[in-house]
A and B are shown apart, each in its own frame.
Chain A
Amino acid sequence: MEVEAVYLRMRHRLLCSPGQTIRIKDLAQLVGPEDVIQEIGHMIVHKITVQDKTIVIVDLMEVLKTIRKKFPLLDIQTVGTPQTIIEVQYKRPKITGVYFVIVWILLFIGAALAIMNFHEDVSMQQVHQKIYYLVTGRRNDYPLLLQVPYSIGLGLGMVLFFNHIFKKRFNEEPSPLEVEMFNYQQDLDQYVIMNENKENEKKAHDD
């Protein structure tokens, strides 16, 4: 048999349903002779069971082992990340609506209280009275003419910072929140890759 090269690239993340069998074509992109790829693609690497819970890491080595059982002479060139994160998606119970309202009210009251505490903390009332005097030359203990626009400005500033709210965006760039969520997801992935992958840890005295 002539030695042919097959190029294999593991996908970063795969969503699947419980009980699904994971084949190599789900896990990786393959390039090479058509018939070989067809056969490799249909090989089974893993079957999702209840014990797997929500996250399974399939290591590249596992995939290579599976392929080499059938094609011991095949030259496999690997590109990219050495593992795939499989996320098992279970059906969520339908109480999220109530949760959502609770979280909404929590955030609303929390934000309101936080801003009031902040104002008290930095003596905002005195500062506003002083600004009122600086501009008009008159004393006013309750300078609402300054404070109402200030309160509206608070909301405006948050809209500006997060770039999009109410479906309208100012430009195409991702907002800081989207970047932040991406970074957080990357950190989680990194953790999961190191900790859920049994191949990564081996205790020497076990052998």
Chain B
Amino acid sequence: MTIKIITVMLIGLGAGLAVGAGFVAILTVFGIIPRLMQITKTNSQIRSYEISIIIGVLFSSWYGLRDYTISSSQWLLIPIGLASGTFIGMLAAALTEVLNVLPILMKRVGFKEQVLILLMAILFGKVIGSLFHWIFFVHL
């Protein structure tokens, strides 16, 4: 019995280590945190940003795997939704950039001045695609 428990704990710890390391690696590759620090000019706060990410991951993995509820007001969902959307939006933008899609597109098609308008196409596509998904697509 003890051996079983220890084995399960070891497996859990190992899986957690791998996933956690992978998560941090992804964040590093996309460079979202440096980007946010650059915009807000808060490079000195890097430690507290790290702690914020660790707490966020621990909190969500604990409560996400359990069936708890805090039975609070539903309006709390609006800031949560906005924040999670912003994070995913930055992730998507970073992904587009890592893949070098836009520079190649600009060069191929030759619209150097209209980069902003094309970026807006992607942006509105994301927002409207997402709204369409939640409002209509999930009912199909």
Contacts and interface: CB of A to CB of B under 8 A. Distances in A.
Contacts of B92: 115, 118, 154, 157-158
Nearest to B64: A130
A155 interface: yes
Contacts of B54: none
B78 A149 contact: yes
B125 A157 contact: no
A156 to B, nearest CB: 5
Contacts of A96: 110-111
Given A96-B111, A130-B64, A135-B70, A155 B77 contact: no
Given A111-B126, A165-B120, A153 B100 contact: no
A116 interface: yes
Contacts of A103: 105, 109, 111, 118, 121
A79 interface: no
A165 B117 CA distance: 8
Contact of B135 (A115, A119, A144, A176): A144
Interface residues on B, range: 35 or more
A136 to B, nearest CB: 5
A105 B128 CA distance: 13
B72 to A, nearest CB: 6
B106 interface: yes
A81 interface: no
Contacts of A154: 85-86, 88-89, 92, 126-127, 130
A158 B129 contact: no
Interface stretch (A20-28, A58-66, A177-185, A192-200): A177-185
B137 A181 contact: no
A181 B42 CA distance: 26
A99 B135 CA distance: 32
Interface of B: 31-32, 35-36, 38-39, 41, 63-64, 68-94, 97, 100, 102-107, 109-111, 114-135, 137-139
5 contacts: A104-B117, A132-B77, A160-B36, A165-B123, A171-B39
